[in-house]
Amino acid sequence: MLLEKLSEGVLRVLTPLGPRFVKPPFVQRVYLLWVFRNFPTLPANVLSRSQQQRIERMCQRHGFVYQFGQNQAEDFAVLGTLEQRPPAQEPLPPRRPPASVRDTVPPFAANAQRQS
């Protein structure tokens, strides 16, 4: 299995559009085996900045070669799976503190006296 990963292994990148596969050159396959040595799947944010940049360059340079579903992905020797989550939404601005009812609506009795 290790020889198969070294000779034909692919990196699986999970995207919002589904899994994508990158077939890196031999030296980068060795590097990816080292990165994914303890865990077969890693979220992108646990990798160091240099690891993220290296994998990003690898994806840009070699492009995604396979775009199949999960069933067909079992045919490949997967070096590791990188989870690419969509960016988190920015937090909403802080809300104003709730105003009391007296501050926003005049009292009914005061309105009745004014109208008389």
Give backbone dihedrals phi and psi of 24, rounded to 5 degrees, phi first: -80, 165
Q: Residue 92: what pLDDT?
A: 66
Say if residues 94 and 60 touch (Cβ distance below 8 Å).
no
pLDDT at 116 over 90: no
pLDDT at 87 over 60: no
Summarize pLDDT for 4-39 with one digit per residue, the tens.
888 888 899 888 878 888 888 999 999 999 999 999
pTM of the model: 0.63
CA dihedral sign of residues 101, 106, 110, 116: negative
Say if residues 35 and 75 touch (Cβ distance below 8 Å).
no
